[in-house]
Amino acid sequence: MNIWRIHKLKDELANQTLSQRNLFFYYFITGIFFSLLIIPNFNYYEDYQEVSSHWIDWISTTSVYLLGLFLCFKANKGDLGKNFIDRVASLEVVLAIRYLIFLYLPLTVLWLIFFEGGIYSDFVLLFNNIILETVVIIRVYFCLKEISIQK
């Protein structure tokens, strides 16, 4: 299983050599991640000062993701493509881990140091969430384009 090396994962997906066990672990990691987000005591939106920011965040990140998913489907050659869910799920796991560490974590630290509780706090949080979602889905899109060109 490749948690860090995107090039090896792309080669396995293009050559269809990714084992069912590894696919299971990618789905399992995704399931754990989403189940942690919906724990009743964990409030994902608690850092926002305005209630409207909750809705703006949810609508914008969901829209970016759904539009990106549609574009990823097209990048995988649409109905003629192969293993769309396997490719998208595994690429999203690896890329999300990488960008959470190298993009979202530094942006969150900057928010905590400079903006938390200030008048621009909600805007910076929105920016962080939208940028993370956009970067991950764009990278998944380009990885799928590469994979579909290889085959």
Mean of pLDDT over the chain:
85
Alpha-carbon span 46 to 66, nearest angstrom = 24
pLDDT tens-place string over residues 117-144? 899 999 999 999 999 999 999 999 999 9
Q: 46: closest CA among 113, 104, 98, 121?
A: 121
pTM (predicted TM-score)? 0.79
What is the radius of gyration, based on Cα positions, of the chain?
17
pLDDT tens-place string over residues 20-55? 788 778 878 887 877 667 554 556 667 778 878 878
Which DSSP state fits 50?
S
What b/e sequence results for 92-110 when a residue is b if at least 16 CB atoms lie within 10 Å of its CB, and e otherwise? Answer: bbbbbebbeeeebeebbee
CB distance 121 to 49 below 8 Å: yes
